[in-house]
């Protein structure tokens, strides 16, 4: 048996990072003979039998034995069982029998079937060495990062059926690349029984769901993303799991993976069970799982779901920190960055817990990014406010800059904001048809200019009126309509501008990258500020008008320059706007304004964002714009 006493010790201690090398099922070869090994953790079982398609689902003669008289059970079958289905038949101490799929299985039957499948992951030929080398040498902080959040089952369908991993690779990747996204974040693709859980309630943490194909097919998808310079992030759920009978819940008749105490165990909000994150074997299971996806599937990082549910004990009258879970998060992040220093570890955290994105050795939780849920909620509340009343909620748009640099943030407009009756981003905008599109363009231009990396849920680039319908594909027919087509062109141009403008991303996480010009103009609902790059002379002036009025000869205080040139205007007629643009370079008046040494007079379009770029000397402006924007 491949397991050693030292492996077993590390597993129980919570420090085994590669448990998948002996847990689960494995094909072994010795002297041209192939046999199959199985290992499962079931410390409170009276007996464990291996049942499957190879023995007519009868466990007689297929009894597992305890390893070192501990909680691990093993068996070696003198056959090559590749492709065979199997489960563990567990007799508990209370006399009940449980038929369980393998927690460490590499592959599983397509739902509604629930058996595990003996599989090998070593046959795929990876071609992404260039990407992996570049990834390891390129920190994310000073580079553009815009994530396309994707649900594989509803991006597109053929005759109502799912596309395969192979079909998705051929269709999604060119589309994502055309639109300028840097990464794809996949809603959970670990095996799960219920489509409408979107993968957030898993039974097979080591198995990419068979809905879309085989493990090699998913490897092909990741490989092709990397060959096209697109990173892959997995949405990952280490906090809780579903309670289906074949899964982790009461695995050996006891509360094994979950807390024993009901108040701690039961996640009433989602109808799931919380992992006992203070238990060593559970830590080894989950930390090994993160390492597994990175090693075997070349995954570039993880978005950790429901971190608030991990940080604090559930079902309490007040917020009480879960020290065991906090230690787990630190151990997890330390292990991931030890394996890949430039991995992405993104916390979906709605709490104000300090130092979420500070390194563990500095007392932090060790993530390198955190979703800015406060920014998202405040901005959407402001946008959904009747424009005539926005002056009364002005601080919703300014509050985020009080804490924008306390963590490394991702600004998310995710699936959670466009489902379950919340309306699409476009339809959240008040007003008539034209006003909705104008304000949506403004919203995304403001998002691009605000400090922080970015995330957008699939379909939002088409400006749908309908929210996400989680059983149907994206509204692709929208591209037949003029305003939606123009919006899509606008989005691609905005992404091109973002990725080509250093000042929009280089100092996302440093206060010197942002300066207010005028933060107090609540009556006119205009916000103006500067975004800076690492070079002091590299900056943009951003002016956002959240009112329906157009303002001519509007004064904006600026830094010294020869002229300022408009490099972006969301009101351009090409995008469906009213074309209140600034077509010629703006003259700089050498008179103090807004606390700046100079000012320009410009046209401020209705419901629009304008970006201005300075030119230092006469004649330089056109060539300088060509080089830098």
Distance CA 215, CA 121 (A): 7
Pairing assessment for the beta strands 409-413 and 453-457 based on DSSP bridges: parallel
Burial 425-463 (b: 16+ CB within 10 A, else e): bbbbbbeeeeebbbbbbbbbbbbbbbbbbbbbbbbbbbb
117-143: per-residue pLDDT in tens?
999 999 999 999 999 999 999 889 999
Written as one string, the DSSP assignment of 173-207 is: HHHHHHHT-SEEEESP-EE-S-GGGTTSS-SEEEE
Per-domain residue ranges of the chain: 5-117, 511-628
β-pairing, 344-347 vs 301-304, is parallel
Percentages helix, strand, coil for the chain (3-state, rounded to 5) are 30, 25, 45
Q: What is the pLDDT of the chain when averaged over all its residues?
A: 95
**Interval 315-365: pLDDT, tens:** 888 899 999 999 999 999 999 999 999 999 999 999 999 999 999 999 999
Crossing angle of helices 280-297/323-339, nearest 10°?
30
Measure the CA angle with vertex 576, ends 572 and 578; round to 5°: 60
Q: Are strands 190-191 and 33-41 parallel, antiparallel or unpaired?
A: unpaired
Phi-psi region of 426 (alpha: psi -120 to 50; beta: other; left: phi over 0): alpha
Q: Do domains 5-117 and 511-628 have the same CATH topology?
A: yes
Strands of the sheet containing 266-267, edge to edge, are: 240-241, 272-274, 266-267
DSSP 435-486: HHHHHHHHHHHHHHHSSSEEEEETTGGG--SSPP-TTS---GGGGGSHHHHH
pLDDT tens, residue by residue, 175-218: 999 999 999 999 999 999 999 999 999 999 999 999 999 999 99
Omega before 112 within 30 of 0, i.e. cis: yes
Query: Is there a catalytic annotation at residue 572?
Result: no
Cis-peptide into 575, omega within 30 deg: no
CA-CA-CA-CA torsion for 460, 464, 467, 468, nearest 10 degrees? -60
CA distances to 100, 111, 154, 320, 579 from 237, in Å: 20, 20, 20, 21, 46
Q: Six-digit token pair at 338?
A: 């030890």
CATH number of 511-628: 2.60.40.1180
- Cα angle 21, 27, 31 (rounded to 5 degrees) comes to 115
pLDDT digits (tens, 9 = 90+) for 356-405: 999 999 999 999 999 999 999 999 999 999 999 999 999 999 999 999 99
Cα–Cα dist 243/268, whole Å: 12
Per DSSP bridges, beta strands 369-371 and 409-413 are parallel
Q: What is the pLDDT of residue 31?
A: 83
More confident position, 439 or 70: 439
Q: At what angle do helices 215-227 and 280-297 cross, to 10 degrees?
A: 60
Whole-angstrom distance, CA of residue 12 vs CA of residue 7? 9
pLDDT for residue 2: 78
pLDDT band at residue 629 under the 50/70/90 scheme = very low
SS3 296: helix
Could you give the CA distance from residue 252 to residue 254 in angstroms, rounded to a whole number? 5
- Select from 3.10.620.30, 2.40.160.20, 2.40.50.140, 2.60.40.10 the CATH code of 5-117: 2.60.40.10
| 161-162 vs 157-158, strand pairing mode | antiparallel
pLDDT digits (tens, 9 = 90+) for 238-278: 999 999 999 999 999 999 999 999 999 999 999 999 999 99
**444-498, pLDDT tens digit by residue?**
999 999 999 999 999 999 999 999 999 999 999 999 999 999 999 999 999 999 9
Q: Which of 305, 340, 572, 621 is catalytic?
A: 305
Contact 154, 161 (CB under 8 A): no
Pair 311, 351: CB distance under 8 Å: yes
Q: Are 42 and 71 in contact (CB under 8 A)?
A: yes
Query: Per-residue pLDDT tens for 292-312?
Result: 999 999 999 999 999 999 999
pLDDT tens by residue, 539-560: 999 999 999 999 999 999 999 9
Give me the residues paired with residue 208 across strands: 190
Rounded to whole angstroms, the Cα distance separating 66 from 49 reads 12
CA 581, CA 603: separation in Å to the nearest integer? 7
pTM of the model: 0.95
Longest dimension (CA), the chain: 92
**305 among known catalytic residues:** yes
Classify 68 as helix, strand or coil: coil
Among the listed residues 348, 349, 417, 475, the single catalytic one is 348
For residue 381, the number of C-alpha atoms closer than 13 Å in the C-beta half-sphere is: 15
Q: What is the pLDDT of residues 29-41, one digit of tens each?
A: 988 899 999 999 9
């Amino acid at each position: 048996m491949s397991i050693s006493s030292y492996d077993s010790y590390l597993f129980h201690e919570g420090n085994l990072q590669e448990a998948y090398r002996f847990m689960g099922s494995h094909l072994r070869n010795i002297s041209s003979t192939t046999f199959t090994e199985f290992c499962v953790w079931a410390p409170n079982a009276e007996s464990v039998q291996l049942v499957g398609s190879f023995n007519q689902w009868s466990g007689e003669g297929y009894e597992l034995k305890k390893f070192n008289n501990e909680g691990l059970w093993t068996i070696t079958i003198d056959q090559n069982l590749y492709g065979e289905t199997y489960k563990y038949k567990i007799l508990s101490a209370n006399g009940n029998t449980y038929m369980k799929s393998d927690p460490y299985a590499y592959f599983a039957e397509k739902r509604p079937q629930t058996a595990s499948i003996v599989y090998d992951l070593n046959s795929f030929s990876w071609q992404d060495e260039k990407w992996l080398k570049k990834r390891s040498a390129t920190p994310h902080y000073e580079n553009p990062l815009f994530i396309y959040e994707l649900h594989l089952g509803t991006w597109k369908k053929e005759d109502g059926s799912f596309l395969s991993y192979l079909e998705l690779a051929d269709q999604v990747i060119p589309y994502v690349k055309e639109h300028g996204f840097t990464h794809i974040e996949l809603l959970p693709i670990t095996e799960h029984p219920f489509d409408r859980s979107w993968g957030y309630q898993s039974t097979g943490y080591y198995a990419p769901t068979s809905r879309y194909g085989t493990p090699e097919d998913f490897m092909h998808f990741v490989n092709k993303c990397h060959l096209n310079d697109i990173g892959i992030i997995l949405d990952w759920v280490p906090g809780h799991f579903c309670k289906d009978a074949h899964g982790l819940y009461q695995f050996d008749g006891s509360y094994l993976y979950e807390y024993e105490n009901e108040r701690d165990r039961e996640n009433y909000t989602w109808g799931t069970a919380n992992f006992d994150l203070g238990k060593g074997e559970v830590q080894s299971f989950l930390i090994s799982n993160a390492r597994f996806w990175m090693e075997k599937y070349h995954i570039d990082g993880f978005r950790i779901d429901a971190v608030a549910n991990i940080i604090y004990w559930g079902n309490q009258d007040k917020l009480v920190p879960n020290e065991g879970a906090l230690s787990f998060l630190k151990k997890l992040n330390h292990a991931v960055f030890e394996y890949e220093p430039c991995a992405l570890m993104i916390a979906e955290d709605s709490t104000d817990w300090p130092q979420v994105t500070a390194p563990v050795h500095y007392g932090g939780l060790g993530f390198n990014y955190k979703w800015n849920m406060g920014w998202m909620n405040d901005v959407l509340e402001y946008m959904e406010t009747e424009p005539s009343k926005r002056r009364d909620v002005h601080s919703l748009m300014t509050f985020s800059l009080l804490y924008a640099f306390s963590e490394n943030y991702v600004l998310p407009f995710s699936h959670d904001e466009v489902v379950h009756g919340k309306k699409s981003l476009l339809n959240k905008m008040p007003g008539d048809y034209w006003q909705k599109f104008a304000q949506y363009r403004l919203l995304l231009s403001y998002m691009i200019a605000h400090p922080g990396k970015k995330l957008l849920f699939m379909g939002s680039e088409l400006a749908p009126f309908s929210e996400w319908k989680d059983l149907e594909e994206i509204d692709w027919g929208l591209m037949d309509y003029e305003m939606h087509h123009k919006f899509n062109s606008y989005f691609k141009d905005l992404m091109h501008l973002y990725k080509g403008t250093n000042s929009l991303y280089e100092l996302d996480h440093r206060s010197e990258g942002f300066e207010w010009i005028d933060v107090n103009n609540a009556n006119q609902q205009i916000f103006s500020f500067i975004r800076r790059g690492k070079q002091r002379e590299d900056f943009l002036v951003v002016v956002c008008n959240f009112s329906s009025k157009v303002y001519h000869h509007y004064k904006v205080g600026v830094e010294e320059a020869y002229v300022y040139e408009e490099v972006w205007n969301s009101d351009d007629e090409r995008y469906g706007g009213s074309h209140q643009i600034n077509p010629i370079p703006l003259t700089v008046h050498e008179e103090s304004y807004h606390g700046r040494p100079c000012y320009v007079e410009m046209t401020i379009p209705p419901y629009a964002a304008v970006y201005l770029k300075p030119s230092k000397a006469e004649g330089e402006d056109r060539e300088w714009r060509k080089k830098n924007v």
